[in-house]
Structure 1
């Protein structure tokens, strides 16, 4: 009898537990079912970035590819999320009733989004949809080059890059703001703006504001303090002897030439008017130099704004070039760090500028309507192209030279394509006689340092 009573009591306890558990499970399912299909409410949006000093930051905009954490209520039963009208993938595992994670797909349209859904996030469940206004930007904009970094006031320049959509403001060195007359490409690959007055002659970066946020250019715009020779008093033109190749002071020209970006005072013709053409297979066809010993002082002039410790890939030679007729098939400019070359070198402290050969080795006619800027990082010089060099290495090299003149040759010898592209190839572009006209001006050493733009400055 006693044993029976114990078993009966145990069974009753088990039954009671099962009834309670079933009731709880039923209530839970019923509660979950009742939560699905409720109105979705969005309170705040956070950017998740483990590499940031603030890994969970409340934001009012985000870029393609970024991960968002969205706070609110009613996410249980969420079926669809659309950003700018584009369906986004999200993992239900990371969805609770009051929070969810979603990464913005790189395929999400931004500029091309339908205006009615642009800068919106839409949430859908079985019964409701909620649209939340939230700014969506493409990847961070970038600047790759500027057509002329030393323009005259009133001249138009073109800034090239990516993500440069809906540019609304350009801040020039000296904090000179331009908000009107900016014309941008719909694909964000370039925009044009007019050079204003009052830009600092010390130079610096452009700060560009666009629909995708801000971006800085390298600090090489209007860098007049870096000019080593402009044939108008900045720097000293050096010349000597009676060699046909030597550009004399009488060869320097000053007639106004160039459309859009016009010449600025005096400039050098690399085929002076006294030479009708250059023969094929000839080097050192013309040469133009700074004064060199006792006059050039790169360390004193340049290191106040380009520290000697600067990595060499962050320092560049710039010059402005004008080529009124097509330049193709033959000829190049040799940059000479010092005066110690015979011509024809593809080695040493030189660099050969061949604008009519593309990076892939194809020939492309080169011509300009006005003056445009060429930028050659100093680590392109063959002696400094492999290794962790600094600007100080270049300064010491020049200071140790017997002849400290900096110069440019026009050369017209055969070109081994591998010397230009670095790729293994047996292709040789044979030289030919040429009467091409190439002019340069405003030789300068500039900084390529680019300030970092932060979407969220601390």
Structure 2
């Protein structure tokens, strides 16, 4: 599936570039007099080159950082320098003829911080002439990567992370509930904004939709997906009670957490009767669903079985009130067919105190959401084109269909966490860390597309 999409995109790119080169060569050959570059530069139109669009060569009046432009006019032969918003932009002379040239808007091009006299301009220079045209340059389109808590209660504040989140003016929650007040944002880098969750958010969930100074954006469709809950310890889903598993009677319900507080019953990984987990041990605590749940009947009405598996994830809420670092991790199991210590198969090991290969203590002020795409589970982490159907069949063919978690406290290497060849070893030690979890759920990750040019 990915290969077919890649081929289509690749052929589209080569076809587009081929047509441009042919047009340039044809024009250059038919106008030898201007080839010396002696004529004045004129720009009649600017086109956006976008092989992913239904209109790959579109006349535009603005462009964003990183986009490829085709200038159409005359006198381009001999152009030596192009400045966009005063920033010198590179171009390939191969793609220059007298009547057309390609230039990319560099990601380093200043936008609102550009000097006023050069803001929203393109200047072309050659030895004997130059020209300046007015042309709007916008920052890269905003994007949303994650949300601090995707199953909050009304009145709780959430933080939305991404890029280009400057001057966020409105947030539309699932159910078309619009918030325009009380939004604060990262003025310096545009990497996040905060907003209070209103009443009336749809229980079906979906994407957040925002408007900002850089344009509009959707989050993945993972927000407030109550219908995806498989276990919340309060009646949605059934906890499995067998062997050494944590029982319903060992759950806690006293409100904990600051800001986003606990919601009814929740699971403490380490019971009060356990002072610490010993070093070098696996499966020191475990909890499972009953195994009677049917993901197919519950989930496929809104996550079709044909959905690419990279667009489906497991979410859970976590609260860690004291720093967690140096030892211990959560093993998340698709089925109950593992004994502990595995770094392969239908499991994923969650080690939040290792970030980008570096050790960082992990703790939370309140409850926050963890999102793990199913393609990060080791069984599905290769380059195969898995769908949700593959995961459903894997669970349905299992003898023990319980979904669950272990707390493990054994040694491991950095390479096991990152998938690299690193042999750097993390030796376990006794740990009294307390990890709370709640609201286990399956969510879609598809992100609706926002375009500057609706078809």
Q: TM-score, normalised by structure 1?
A: 0.81
Q: Aligned-pair distance for 1:207? A: 2.0
Q: Specify the alignment match of 2:258 in structure 1.
A: 259
Kept in 2, the 8 Å contact 1:94–1:101? The answer is no
Q: Specify the alignment match of 1:147 in structure 2.
A: 148
Give, in whole Å, the separation in 2 of the partners of 1:309 and 1:88: 44
Q: Aligned-pair distance for 1:89? A: 6.2
Q: Specify the alignment match of 2:164 in structure 1.
A: 163
Whether 1:376 and 2:377 are equivalent positions in the alignment is: no
Whether 1:445 and 2:442 are equivalent positions in the alignment is: yes
SS at match of 1:238: coil
Give, in whole Å, the separation in 2 of the partners of 1:51 and 1:240: 52
Whether 1:428 and 2:429 are equivalent positions in the alignment is: no
Q: Specify the alignment match of 2:138 in structure 1.
A: 137
Q: Aligned-pair distance for 1:329? A: 0.7
Alignment of 1:32-71 (within 5 A): 45-49=46-50, 52-68=53-69
Give, in whole Å, the separation in 1 of the partners of 2:49 and 2:385: 36
Kept in 2, the 8 Å contact 1:227–1:235? The answer is yes
Q: Specify the alignment match of 2:322 in structure 1.
A: 325
Alignment of 1:13-412 (within 5 A): 45-49=46-50, 52-68=53-69, 82-88=83-89, 94=97, 103-115=104-116, 117-121=118-122, 132=134, 134-185=135-186, 186-241=188-243, 243=244, 246-292=245-291, 295-360=292-357, 362-386=358-382, 387-412=384-409
Kept in 1, the 8 Å contact 2:75–2:98? The answer is no
Kept in 2, the 8 Å contact 1:95–1:101? The answer is no
Give, in whole Å, the separation in 1 of the partners of 2:103 and 2:327: 56
Structure 2 unpaired stretches of 5+: 1-32
Q: Aligned-pair distance for 1:365? A: 0.7
Kept in 2, the 8 Å contact 1:334–1:353? The answer is yes
Kept in 2, the 8 Å contact 1:143–1:161? The answer is yes
Q: Aligned-pair distance for 1:341? A: 2.1
C-alpha change, 1:56 and 1:350, in structure 2 (3 Å) is closer
Give, in whole Å, the separation in 2 of the partners of 1:342 and 1:103: 54
Give, in whole Å, the separation in 1 of the partners of 2:267 and 2:352: 18
SS at match of 2:359: coil
Give, in whole Å, the separation in 2 of the partners of 1:253 and 1:444: 19
Structure 1 unpaired stretches of 5+: 1-27
Kept in 1, the 8 Å contact 2:76–2:97? The answer is no
Q: Specify the alignment match of 2:6 in structure 1.
A: none
Kept in 1, the 8 Å contact 2:76–2:96? The answer is no
SS at match of 2:282: strand
Give, in whole Å, the separation in 1 of the partners of 2:49 and 2:351: 46
Q: Aligned-pair distance for 1:43? A: 7.3
Q: TM-score, normalised by structure 2?
A: 0.81
Give, in whole Å, the separation in 2 of the partners of 1:407 and 1:81: 58
Deviations along 1:227-275, one digit per CA (max 9) or x if unpaired, are: 000111111122135x4xx211121111111112211111100012222
SS at match of 1:54: coil
Q: Specify the alignment match of 2:26 in structure 1.
A: none
